[in-house]
């Protein structure tokens, strides 16, 4: 299989990742918070209101198993997705299948476990990419740049940038990821900065340039902004 050349992607970094720290991050929490609090008054107030940054990545131990789960869980609530995921594993004795075993299982069989036809096709495509050596190993996940990981993983049917962004932010502890396709993050920005409408992804990139190189942390605080708004506590930020 011919690998696609990485395209320019303003949502992630193209630089090699730093070494993973004891807390699972590749950057310092204190430095990130200091930078973001200095960006503007509203970000400073949001961080004070939301409290400490609590993300502690555990790392992806088995990329193939993680991506199987990610494909199955897409567009489903947690309970339903968990049930289907369990049924798929049951087809293989309760274990994560090998790529060969997964590719050798028919779409019809996968559908008996609750997968849609599209997800079954995506699982087969994932298995093919794994067999062709296109899915990074555990060690490669730690050494490849954000951009390279986005490029390689989104080549698989059913895996989009958002899925890889979540891996980068919450599993690999990368500092400068901006999930422009995430409704919750853009909604948090809208609330914090007092806009009537959410920005487009392109406008969101421009508006958040000051967050670099800690856009992952800022994005997490946008999730917290939505939580605070629902609890009736966000008016302090926008005042």
Annotated catalytic residues are 182
Contact 139, 7 (CB under 8 A): no
Report residue 198 as tokens: 């959410």
How far from the centroid of its chain's Cα atoms is residue 192's Cα?
22
Instruction: Provide the CA 97 distance to its chain's centre, in angstroms.
Output: 23
Instruction: Write out the E strands in 61-218.
Output: none
Q: How many CB atoms within 10 Å of residue 96?
A: 15
SS3 131: helix
Retrieve residue 121's tokens: 């096709």
């Amino acid at each position: 299989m011919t690998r696609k050349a990485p395209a320019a992607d303003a949502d992630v970094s193209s630089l090699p990742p730093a070494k993973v720290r004891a807390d699972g991050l590749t950057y310092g929490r204190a430095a990130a918070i200091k930078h973001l609090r200095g960006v503007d008054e509203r970000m400073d107030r949001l961080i004070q209101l939301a409290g400490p940054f609590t993300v502690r990545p555990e790392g992806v131990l088995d990329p193939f198993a993680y991506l199987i789960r990610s494909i199955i869980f897409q567009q489903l609530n947690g309970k339903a997705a968990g049930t289907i995921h369990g049924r798929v594993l049951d087809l293989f004795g309760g274990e994560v299948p090998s790529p060969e075993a997964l590719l050798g299982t028919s779409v019809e069989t996968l559908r008996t476990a609750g997968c849609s036809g599209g997800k079954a096709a995506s699982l087969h495509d994932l298995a093919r990419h794994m067999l062709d050596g296109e899915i990074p190993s555990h060690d490669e996940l730690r050494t490849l740049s954000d951009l390279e990981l986005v490029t390689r993983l989104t080549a698989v049917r059913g895996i989009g940038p958002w899925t890889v962004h979540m891996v980068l932010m919450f599993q690999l502890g990368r500092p400068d990821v901006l999930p422009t396709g995430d409704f919750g993050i853009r909604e948090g920005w809208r609330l914090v900065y007092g806009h009537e409408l959410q920005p487009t992804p392109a406008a969101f990139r421009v508006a958040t340039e000051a967050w670099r190189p800690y856009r992952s942390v800022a994005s997490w605080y946008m999730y917290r902004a939505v939580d605070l708004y629902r609890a009736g506590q966000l008016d302090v930020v926008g005042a």
